[in-house]
Amino acid sequence: MPTGSDLIAIDFVNVSKRFTLEEGRTLREFIPALLKGKAWSEPFYALRDVSFRIRKGESVGIVGRNGSGKSTTLKLIAGVMAPSEGEVHVHGRVSPLIELGAGFHPDLTGRENVYLNASILGMSGSAIRAKFDDIVDFAELWEFMDTPVKRYSSGMYMRLGFSVAVHSDPDILLVDEVLAVGDALFSEKCLAKIREFQDRGVTIVIVSHSPETVKNFCGRAILLNHGRLLEAESPESVIQRYRELVHREEATVGALSS
């Protein structure tokens, strides 16, 4: 497809993601189900026929209620999951700011974890050595580099995780509600870093419940509801529609409970 595939960072083509709910994880449950010839668990669609494109350098917010398929979308972009139907194309190196420090080993020191986590994100040894000082500077954790991370406070843990992720030189940055990392000062620093990425032309996908974040950072927003894409427009109109959606559902719940 020569039509500007160079310009597209993320392309979802009719993507559905099906999960099986009650999973039979032992052979005792699997074999009888197989013999009876029935599906051994009920399917559930986290995403249904979702298509959208994100251009290189674009910042896009993904908005939706809990269970709307936001996290599944991020996982598909991150390559952690494969779509059940449709195609997901991702061009460039992805760095997920999803649950920072997921790869940290509690017994290892800060230094060792920087190396481990950076190599998980795809950095080479020489790149890690070159960026190491920047990573520690940004996290402001010089005195704790030889301390096992299990002694870290949760704020320190997140700061180190964030710092490694943003120094991994991503083409695409996935941000999932982590803008409030540590104290207000550090939070400012993170936002500044994300702005810097935007200026450098890094593609950014932000999942957020906060309309402010989406309005401040994103040129476009995508609204998901029960796994379906409702709208992919300007942040203002998407947030407006999102609010209506929430109000309507609250009204329904209110009517049912009264």
Partner 1 sequence: MRQSIRVAGRDHIGTALGIPDFIISLANLWHRRELLWNMTVRHLRGQYKQSILGYAWALVMPLSQMIIMTFVFSTIIRVQSPGAPFALFLFVGLLPWNFFSTSLSAGTDSVVGASSLVTKVYFPREILPAAAIFTKVVDLLFASLILVALMAYYGHAPTETAVWVPLLFLIQFLFTLGLTLPLAALNLFFHDVRYLVGVALTLWFYVTPIIYPIDIVPEKYQTFFDLNPLSLFINAYRRVLLQDESPDFGKMFLGLAISVATLLIGYYLFKKMEPGFADRI
CB of 200 to partner 1, least distance (A): 20
**Residue 171 engages partner 1 in binding (rule: CB under 8 A):** no
**Residue 116 engages partner 1 in binding (rule: CB under 8 A):** yes
CB of 3 to partner 1, least distance (A): 16
Q: Of 171, 168, 194, 172, whose CA–CA distance to 181 is shortest?
A: 194
CB of 51 to partner 1, least distance (A): 14
Among 87, 134, 137, 250, binds partner 1 (CB under 8 A): 87
- Spell out a b/e string for 195-227, using b for 16 or more CB atoms within 10 Å of the CB, else e: eebbeeebbbbbbbeebebbebbbebbbbbbeb
**Residue 78 engages partner 1 in binding (rule: CB under 8 A):** yes
- Is the separation of the CB atoms in 229 and 48 below 8 Å? no
**Residue 96 engages partner 1 in binding (rule: CB under 8 A):** yes
- Is the separation of the CB atoms in 225 and 66 below 8 Å? no
Q: Residue 27 and residue 175: Cα distance in Å, rounded?
A: 38
Residue 246 phi, psi dihedral angles, 5° rounding: -65, -45
CB of 72 to partner 1, least distance (A): 10
User: Could you list the residues that contact partner 1 (CB under 8 A)?
Assistant: 19-20, 23, 25-27, 30, 75-76, 78-83, 85-91, 93-94, 96, 98-99, 102-103, 105, 107-108, 112, 115-116, 119-125, 128
